[in-house]
Amino acid sequence: MSRDLMMDATGNDERLAPTYGAGQHRLKAERESQILEVSIGPQHPSTHGVFRMDVKLDGERVVQLKPVFGYLHRNHEKIAENGSYLAAIPYTDRLDYLCSMTNNWGYTLAVETLAGITVPERAEYIRVIMAELTRFQNHAGLVGFLLQDMGASGTPLMYAFREREKILDLFEAVSGARMMCNYLRFGGVRVDCTPEWMKETRELVGVLPRFVDEFERLLRGNEILMARTQGVGVLPRELAVNAGVTGPMLRATGVNYDIRKVDRYGIYDRFKFRVPLGEHGDVYDRYMMRVLEMRESISILEQALKEIPEGPVQDPKTKLRGLRPKAGEAYGRIESPKGELGFYLISDGTMNPYRYRVRSPCLINLTILEDMCLGQSVADVVVTLGSVDIVMGEVDR
């Protein structure tokens, strides 16, 4: 059953052809009687939160899929606009609540760009260490959940969470909280890491490769995994670029675009690491991207822990309370584990940001969910959604 048979794309201008346009697909009228409408979510274990998909099915095949958002909407942007620049940091923790450290970094980077703040060297290293630990634990968790969605009940997820737990313990020891770290500040980080903490981290980074090896042995050659993921949810490269897909999802299609390499924000230009690239853009490639990125994160961690200098961790000239950046605007972006996390700030010279905007990778990566799922079966929709790696706190904001 080919997609073109059932769908009728309304393209008008030839130059606009790369727009595959969700919502431009129309069901053929004569088939409509056989179409079944199913609502997947918002309370569904495989939707990773309160996410709903209105799916139209022809038998087992998906002919239309409309994502429905907003169940976790709390107008994060308005809350931040009503508070001071400092008060927005704990709220950024709650965007993508698995990766609070990278969220903090995205926001502080935007404020630093806006106000021209410099960061001490040691703080930059600490940021890299925290970001890479976050990336590792996010990818470990995601891979666990993805396999859970495929039916590998429990085992891989528990193994992933066991390692994640060790990293969260490290976060707690330095920032005071396991998930809502609220650790980075514009102009540095809140507190310095103790030498004992550094030692513990070095020890942990030493054992993490064993976990990745085991994890790969557990499932790499697994025939069921391959059957469920290869050729499923294929995302064409051209569409991925046009739809603004970022992060491991984009790199799984073979586009070499990693903001750590492109923008070299922080001190990422000092580290040697490779950017894993996929080829087919299917679920299997996306799964492998995460596994390979975990290895690269370990390599960055090893370098950062070796080179980290002594020194202050907070720029003394920066006012944390009552920061008033000059009127203007700035866009700061980082490579969060899920993709490009950007913060757009407009200052009008007062204590509150005039406009505060989060460019959430999860929301924008969902733009092409329909295109990936059309013609697939319902079971594959679940796997495809799992491979996008969404956290509803960030999608709905």
Partner 1 sequence: MSAPELGAVGVDLSADALRALLVAAIEGCSVTVVENESPSGQRSLVLDHEHAVEAAIFLRDNSELRLDFCSNVTGVDWPDREVTEKVKVKKMVEGLEGATEQEVEETRKTLAPGYLEAVYHLFSMEKKHGPVILRLRTRDRAEGNHLPSLTPVWRSAEFQEREAFDLFGIVFDGHPDLRRILMWDEFADYPMRKDYVSPAEDEPVLDDGCLPGAEPGAEQGAADA
Partner 2 sequence: MLGEGIVKGLFETARNFLGSYVDKDRLVTVQYPEERHPLPEAARNFPFLLYDGDDPEAGLRCVSCHICEKECPPRCIYIEKSTDKKPDFVGKPQFYPARFDIDVSVCMSCQICVEVCPFDAIRMDKEFELSTDDRFGGLMWTKKELSKPNEYYQKIHPVEAAETDARRAEDVEKAKAKAAAAAAAKAAEVAKAAEAARADDEGAGKEPSKG
Q: Residue 395 in contact with residue 364, Cβ under 8 Å? A: no
Q: Segment near partner 1 (CB under 8 A), from 161-169, 201-209, 289-297, 319-327?
A: 319-327
**Measured between alpha carbons, how far is residue 94 from residues 72, 181, 190, 231 in Å?**
11, 10, 18, 34
- Of 116, 176, 231, 311, which lies in the binding site for partner 1, with binding defined by CB under 8 A? 116
Q: Which of 121, 218, 331, 379 binds partner 1 (CB under 8 A)?
A: 331
Q: Which amino acid does the sequence have at 375? A: G
* 391 counts as binding partner 1 under rule CB under 8 A: no
Query: For partner 2, which residue of 224, 264, 274, 307 counts as binding (CB under 8 A)?
Result: 224
Under a CB-based contact definition with an 8 Å cutoff, are residues 197 and 174 in contact? yes
A 10 A CB-CB count for 215 gives: 20
| Residues contacting 311, CB < 8 A, separation 6+ | 120, 121, 122
Binding status of residue 79 toward partner 1 by CB under 8 A: no
Q: Which two tokens stand for residue 328?
A: 């203007």
Among 44, 61, 166, 295, binds partner 2 (CB under 8 A): 166
Residue 78 found at the interface with partner 1 (CB under 8 A)? yes
Query: Exposed (0-12), middle (13-18) or buried (19+): which is 277, by Cβ within 10 Å?
Result: middle
Q: Please tell me whether residue 204 binds partner 1 under the rule CB under 8 A.
A: no
Give the one entry of partner 1, partner 2, none that residue 347 binds, where binding means its C-beta sits below a cut-off of 5 to 8 angstroms depending on kind. partner 1
- Answer yes or no whether residue 77 interacts with partner 1 by CB under 8 A: yes
- Considering only residues 72, 177, 267, 291, which one is a binding residue for partner 2 as defined by CB under 8 A? 177
Residue 4: which of partner 1, partner 2, none does it interact with, CB under 5 to 8 A by kind?
none
Point out which residues bind partner 1 (CB under 8 A).
13, 15-16, 18-24, 69-70, 73, 75, 77-78, 113-116, 239, 241-246, 255, 257, 262-265, 269, 325-333, 340, 342, 344, 346-347, 355, 357, 359, 363-364, 366-368, 396-397
